């Protein structure tokens, strides 16, 4: 899209360009994965152009052009327009309109111009299915407390410590899987991720493990993960990621992979059945340990019958 020019309150002309960015998610053999380009360090994106009849049309066109992947389910995620989002010419503010897209694993095979990569490669502290990753207590806690203690006065030190405790579950607090963006932004503020020191004289001291991305694409990805982790609790969007038929265990494992938490199996099954979200196909599969497992499919009619909740997260106490 050609840059738009408007006058600011001070009367000066300001240019802005609009980009469209896609967080495309599938659950593959490596778990919850995101579609990337450019050596797996960027999300598919492109400018909104005059020839695009809508924002969604433009997004779909860019994703298909860059990756060969045709999008199905999409929803607008967030508009990023911070003052420091400056284009290469240093005279334009870049406004990025991001979208969350969900697709199935069987549609995730494709050309070498794209790569599916586990989102835990970018946020290794987010996967708590086997308990809290050791890096949370061994690395993150000490570095965040050091950053907090570097504050110039006591109220700021206390504020930083409290924010870290809430975000990462320190001091006996519960881990909230939805605070993905808050955790990343806290690490960014503490200059513990490489993106925080780009273009400046300071350098991140021993950047944390985790793959980086260009510009603020990792922040946008964190926003998408947080949205999906929240939305699977109140809307049945998880079925956009499931194959046409599946076992209860496959559904449970998908929800656990997305949330980074284990769920209580009997309670999870009871919630799904109470919501009447699935129906039996009458078939079984032998691809399980023990006796054949029943196959289910999403009951699409439920969307027309009432406002339906999502999968919930009856967390395991184990």
- What digits encode the pLDDT tens for the residues 45-83? 999 988 889 999 999 999 999 998 889 999 999 999 876
Reported as a pLDDT band with limits 50, 70 and 90, residue 197 is: confident
Q: How far apart are CA 130 and CA 257, in angstroms?
A: 11
Q: How far apart are CA 235 and CA 8, in angstroms?
A: 41
The pLDDT value given to residue 7: 45
Q: Per-residue pLDDT for 312 more than 80?
A: no
The pLDDT value given to residue 30: 86
Structure tokens at 273: 């059945």
What is the per-residue pLDDT across 81-94, written as a single tens digit (0 to 9) for each?
Answer: 876 655 555 567 78
Average pLDDT, integer, range 276-286? 91
Q: How far is CA 239 from the centre of its chain?
A: 17
Asked if residues 147 and 168 have their Cβ atoms less than 8 Å apart, the reply is no
Residue % of the chain over a pLDDT of 90: 65
Reported as a pLDDT band with limits 50, 70 and 90, residue 151 is: very high
What is the per-residue pLDDT across 221-264, written as a single tens digit (0 to 9) for each?
Answer: 999 999 999 999 989 999 999 999 999 999 999 999 999 999 99
Q: How many CA atoms lie within 13 A of 109 on its CB side?
A: 2
């Amino acid at each position: 899209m050609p840059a738009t020019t408007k006058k600011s309150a001070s009367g000066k002309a300001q240019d802005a360009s609009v980009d469209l960015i896609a967080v495309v998610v599938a659950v593959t053999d490596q778990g919850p994965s995101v579609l990337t380009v450019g050596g797996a360090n960027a999300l598919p994106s492109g400018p909104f152009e005059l020839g695009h009849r809508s924002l969604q049309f433009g997004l779909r066109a860019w994703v298909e052009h860059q990756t060969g992947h045709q999008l199905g389910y999409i929803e607008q995620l967030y508009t990023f327009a911070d003052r420091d989002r400056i284009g290469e010419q240093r005279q334009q503010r870049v406004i990025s309109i991001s979208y969350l897209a969900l697709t199935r694993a069987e549609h995730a095979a494709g050309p070498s111009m794209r790569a599916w990569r586990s989102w835990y490669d970018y946020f290794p502290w987010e996967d708590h299915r086997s308990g809290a990753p050791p890096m949370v207590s061994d690395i993150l806690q000490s570095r965040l407390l050091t950053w907090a203690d570097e504050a110039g006065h006591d109220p700021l030190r206390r504020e930083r410590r409290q924010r870290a405790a809430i975000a990462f579950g320190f001091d006996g607090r519960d881990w909230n899987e939805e605070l993905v963006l808050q955790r990343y932004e806290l690490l960014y503020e503490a200059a513990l991720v490489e993106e925080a020191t780009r273009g400046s004289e300071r350098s991140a001291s021993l950047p944390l493990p985790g793959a980086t991305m260009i510009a603020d694409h990792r922040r946008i990805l964190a926003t998408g993960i947080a949205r999906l982790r929240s939305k699977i609790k109140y809307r049945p969007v998880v079925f956009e990621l499931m194959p046409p038929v599946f076992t209860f265990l496959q559904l449970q494992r998908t929800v656990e992979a997305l949330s980074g938490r284990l769920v209580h199996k009997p309670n999870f099954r009871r919630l799904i059945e109470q919501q009447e979200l699935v129906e039996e196909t009458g078939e079984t599969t032998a691809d399980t340990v023990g006796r054949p497992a029943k196959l289910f499919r999403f009951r699409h009619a439920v969307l027309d019958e009432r406002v339906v909740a999502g999968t919930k997260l009856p967390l395991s106490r184990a």
